[in-house]
Amino acid sequence: MPRVSIAIRAFRRRWLAEAIASVLAQTHRDLELVIYDDAGDFEPLATATRDARIRYHRAEGRRTASGRFAAAVALCHGEYVGLLDDDDAYAPDFVARLAAALDADPEAGAAFCRTTWDDDGRRVRPVDARSSGRQPDAAATMLRDGWTVSPSHLLLRRCAYDHALRDQALPPGVLPDIFVNLRLAMAGWHHVLVDAPLVVTRWHAGQFTRMYPLAGDTAVATWRTIHIDDPALTALRDRRLARSLLVRAVDALRAGDVVQARGDVIAAADAAPGAWRALRLAVGRAAACGLPGVWAARVWAAMSPRGRRRRRPPRRIGDR
């Protein structure tokens, strides 16, 4: 069996060949590449190199992002597992350096790296205040500071993944990066940061996190679904839920859905009454105004610094 399995969840053709090439070019050669074809017509592209390390699997039906994640991991045989998005690409030493970090720390459930954004050919390196090595209190800092680890940026210890999801399996319709990384941290496994930008992450309009209403619905479902027993972490989770509801409310206003926006403002107040009060008041008033509120939300998105930042790659790791 290979030591490392890399799975590509393929449903977009545009950058898939480059993603495949970046895996096959790894300096760590003891690996397999599983191509999980969620579109159903990528077999000629996936097998064009005739590399014996490639295993191709055509999905039986379309799944959600978390469904693709779980199905792809289930196909992997390696001790360490990576999930590369089909629009991203590894540096040649990605696997070697992250596998070495896991080898050096048996209590690490995931090793991950820094990243570089590719915004239509323009490279952007986000500010990342996290120190290298083990991340202290990872679950609390993820919830408090708003960071997580994209699947493309990490290598998972397979036994840690299985252990973390033993009590709550990865459900459909949630964000796998948030769900899996939090479950790992809460199960007692450590996250280790390798201090190098070893992945290129593309910024484009077809990204899942920029799709309305899917992105907002999935974020809200994630925070509502994940089981957290610790009271302090639960309070932080509820703040995250309230914020996701308010972000979805703003997006609903921009789309002209004032009913959805009003409902989300009320739900945000129920989730975390003391959190985001100023934002909740502003969005609630806009939603109560009907059409003028819709136009106010659209103007805010087009003209305000924060609204413009949402159209660009994040300049720092954490909340936008």
pLDDT per residue over 128-167, tens digit each? 999 999 999 999 999 999 899 999 999 999 999 999 999 9
Dihedral class, residue 133 (left if φ above 0, else alpha if ψ from -120 to 50, else beta): left
Q: What is the pLDDT of residue 319?
A: 58
Q: Which residues pair with 34 in a beta bridge?
A: 7, 55
Angle CA 198–202–203, to nearest 5: 135
Extended beta strands in 174-318, E state: 190-202
Q: Is 134 exposed, middle or buried (0-12, 13-18, 19+ CB in 10 A)?
A: middle
| Contacting residues for 48 by C-beta, under 8 A, at least 6 apart | 17
Nearest partner of 26 among 50, 55, 11, 5, judged by Cα: 5
Q: Using CA atoms, how far apart are residues 54 and 61, in angstroms rounded to an integer?
A: 21
pLDDT in the model for residue 207? 78
**Positions of the chain with pLDDT lower than 50, given as ranges:** none
Beta strands 108-119 and 154-157, pairing class:
antiparallel
Instruction: Kindly report, residue by residue over 167-187, the tens digit of the pLDDT.
Output: 999 999 999 999 999 999 999
Domain spans of the chain, in order of start: 4-206, 228-309
Report the DSSP beta bridge partners of residue 54.
33
Q: Which CATH architecture has domain 4-206?
A: Alpha-Beta Complex (3.90)
- The answer to whether 42 and 16 have CB atoms below 8 angstroms apart is yes
Specify the pLDDT at position 59: 87
